Every structure is written in structure tokens, then in C-alpha cells.
Amino acid sequence: MMKLMFYYGPGNRITKAIRLLTGGPYSHVELQFTDGCRFFSSGHGEHTGCHMICDRKVYDRYWDQVLIPATREQEKAAQKHTFHLIGLPFDFGGMARFLIPFVDRNRRRSYCSSLVLEVLQKSLRMFPQAGLRISPNGLHRLFLADHPLVIATVPDREPPHQTE
């Protein structure tokens, strides 16, 4: 089953700013496929940019998951769409413009939540009304509003905190 994995664990100043300015506990989101491959865009570390990694990552207690009900065909379509996005550079300017809303809204977004939403829209036809200028918290709120039954939490851990 496909999953969205939302990160709320400890972070740096940028992570904390994202959470504060987007009104929620999450600062990052990844799309994980049934086969263990995961699709994400990151602005730091060895995997800066847009990637698909098949490492069967085990997510720790700092991640919340949303299960996505999808058929095999829909999941294949989603994976196929991600292949067209791999290699895009992380859009630091787009993230800054996200945080400063009055600057250049016409550029393609290539940060984690915008790319994950694009995959969901184009392959699963989810949230067609939503704009790609979205935060991890905004994406999580879309699921709470439209699909409250697919929200899942990791058992035996404390709830996410607004600020850390």
C-alpha cells in the first residue's frame, strides 16, 4: 500500500521555521510505495534534490503515516510519474517564495510537498482543486478534510508537538 510519511521530529532552524510558518507539526513529507521505494525532494544532505530510493527505509517514531488506497495500476502510474521528476533540483527559491507569498508564484515548485501533491494529482486524480504551493502541513490537512478514514498513526509513541 502506498503511504505518505510526514516528519515531525527534531530539526534545525529551517525545520522549525517551516513548522511555525505553516501552522503545524510537520516539516517534510515522502511518498513510499508498496515495494519499499520512496520518492522525496530534500534541500540538504547527500540526497539534495528530487530522488527515488529503493532502500526499504524503516521510519522511526518521528514520522506519521497516511495510507493511500490505490489499485496496482494507480500505484504504477504514480511511480511512472515520479520517474519524470527525478533529478529536479531542490527549489530553495520556491521554498522561500512559499514562505514569502507575494513573490513569483508562477515558477514550478520542486520541494517535498509540492512534488508529492503533483504525483497524487496527476496519477491518482486526488485533490485536483489544490494548488501546488503547499506545505507538508497543508497536504496533511487535505487528507484530514477529504479522506479522514485513511489517516493512520504509528502506535506506541507520543503525539507530535507544535514547537520543539
Closest to 126 measured CA to CA, from 112, 139, 108: 139
Rounded to whole angstroms, how far apart are CA atoms 37 and 116? Answer: 14
Residues 13-68 have pLDDT tens digits of 888 888 988 899 999 999 999 999 999 988 776 777 888 999 888 889 999 999 99
pLDDT reading at 152 higher than 90: no
Q: Give the domains, in start order, of the chain with CATH numbers.
A: 2-152 (3.90.1720.10)
H or E element that contains 3: strand 2-7
Among 30-34, 90-94, 120-124, 128-132, the least confident range: 90-94
pTM recorded for the entire structure: 0.82
Q: How far apart are CA 3 and CA 12, in angstroms?
A: 25
Of the candidates 33, 37, 30, the one whose C-alpha atom is nearest the C-alpha of residue 113 is 30
Asked if 115 contacts 135 with a C-beta cutoff of 8 angstroms, the reply is: no
Q: Which residue has the higher pLDDT, 132 or 147?
A: 132
Task: Tell me what pLDDT residue 164 has.
Answer: 43
How far apart CA 70 and CA 82 sit, in angstroms, is 16
What pLDDT, on a 0 to 100 scale, did the predictor assign at position 94?
62
Q: What is the arithmetic mean of pLDDT over 120-134?
A: 90
Q: How far, in whole angstroms, is CA 161 from its chain's centroid?
A: 18
Question: Which cell goes with 110?
Answer: 520542486
From start to end of 9-136, where are the E strands? 28-32, 37-42, 49-54, 63-68
